[in-house]
Amino acid sequence: MLKKRVIFTLLYDRGSFMLSRNFRLQKVGNLQWLKKNYDFSKIAFSIDELIILDVSRSERDEKMFCEHVKKLTEECFVPITAGGGIRSVVQSRRLLCSGADKIVVNSLLAANPALVFVLASEFGRQCIVASVDARRSADGYEVWMYNGGRLQDGSLGDWLTNLMDLPIGELYLNSMDRDGTGQGYDFALLDHLPRPMPIPVILAGGAGKYQHLADGLSEQRVDAVATAHLFNFVGDGLEHARIGLIGSGHNLPVWDRNTAQEMKDIFKR
């Protein structure tokens, strides 16, 4: 049976990894710091997928971002999705040659849907993850683009329905209200999904502890749960969460984390 997924999302801003709360960023540390203090290798063997988003608020350095993706994926053997500010085929290919399997697009979906078709014909629609940032409003939800900087016309439901006409492989649905708060996912977002929903849904925004991941995975409309909360799942936090989730019967893939060290450099001994 096809498994659900626990995804870790890393937020990147010009050489640093960030914590986000309601889309306001706080610097955590650079790559070296992440590997050392946050034991990234441990996190890497406790997740089903890694998403790396360039959320740089000022001008992006694409080359440097690709270098970071490469470094992160050297010892991370799960599907990798990368994105943030993608505007061309060349830029996408560069990410896909740096260890990424899929690319994330968000503002591009509104700014240049024609390019989304080009990307899909070049790399396949399974390669394209549509990211949507939604915020509660007086009468439902509104959609924001450009790192939450620009309001999109229309409701969340309308926007999601429109997206289904584009060649996309997955939906990354993020709550701006819950982002980084650790208050749990906003399941009401799911009520705005098209029915039937033809592609997998990744729910993001708000997971702060084990129970939130469990709640997300229990929701039938959710195929994957994502968390970007570095602090809450630091060290073996995510590992324990995973063991707990599998132990309580959640439909996640299983592997033996302990053999990772045995396998490292086995052909150099």
Partner 1 sequence: MAGRQVAVIDYGMGNVWSVLSAFRYLGGEATLTDDPDQIITADFLVLPGVGSFRKAMDSIRKAGMDKAIHEAVKIRGSKILGICLGMQLLAAFGSEDGETAGLGLIGNRVDPFTPLELGHRKLPHVGFNTVRFNEQAGLFRDLPGQPDFYFVHSYRMLIENLVGRHAICSYGTDFLAAFETENICGTQFHPEKSQTNGLTLLRNFLYL
Residue from 199, 214, 234, 243 touching partner 1 (CB under 8 A): that is 199
Find the part of the chain contacting partner 1 (CB under 8 A) among 17-25, 137-145, 226-234, 258-266.
258-266
Buried b (16+ CB within 10 A) or exposed e, 2-37: eebbbbbbbbbbbebbbbbeebebeebeebeebbee
Among this protein's residues, is 133 annotated catalytic?
yes
Q: Choose between 198 and 249: whose C-beta lies nearer to partner 1.
A: 198
Draw the binding track, 68-87, toward partner 1 (x: CB under 8 A; -: no contact): --x--xxx-xxxx-------
CA dist 198 and 69 (Å) reads: 29
- Strands 224-227 and 201-204 turn out to be parallel
Residues comprising the chain, all counted: 269
Choose, from 48, 54, 133, 223, the residue flagged as catalytic. Answer: 133
Q: How far is the CB of 246 from partner 1 (least distance, A)?
A: 11
Q: How far is the CB of 122 from partner 1 (least distance, A)?
A: 9
Within its chain, how far is the Cα of 6 from the centroid? 10
- Using the rule CB under 8 A, is 91 a contact of partner 1? no
Q: Which of 116, 53, 120, 119 is nearest to 84 (CA)?
A: 53
- Using the rule CB under 8 A, is 3 a contact of partner 1? yes
- Looking up tokens 């890694």 gives 50
Residue from 58, 139, 249, 268 touching partner 1 (CB under 8 A): that is 268
Residue from 8, 17, 40, 45 touching partner 1 (CB under 8 A): that is 45
Q: For CA atoms 54, 60, 62, 65, give the dihedral sign.
A: negative
Residues 120-139 that bind partner 1 (CB under 8 A): 123-127
Q: Which of 264, 211, 245, 206 is nearest to 41 (CA)?
A: 264
Catalytic residues: 133
Q: Name the residues that contact partner 1, by CB under 8 A.
A: 1-3, 5, 45, 48, 70, 73-75, 77-80, 96-101, 123-127, 169-170, 198-200, 223, 252-257, 259-260, 263-269
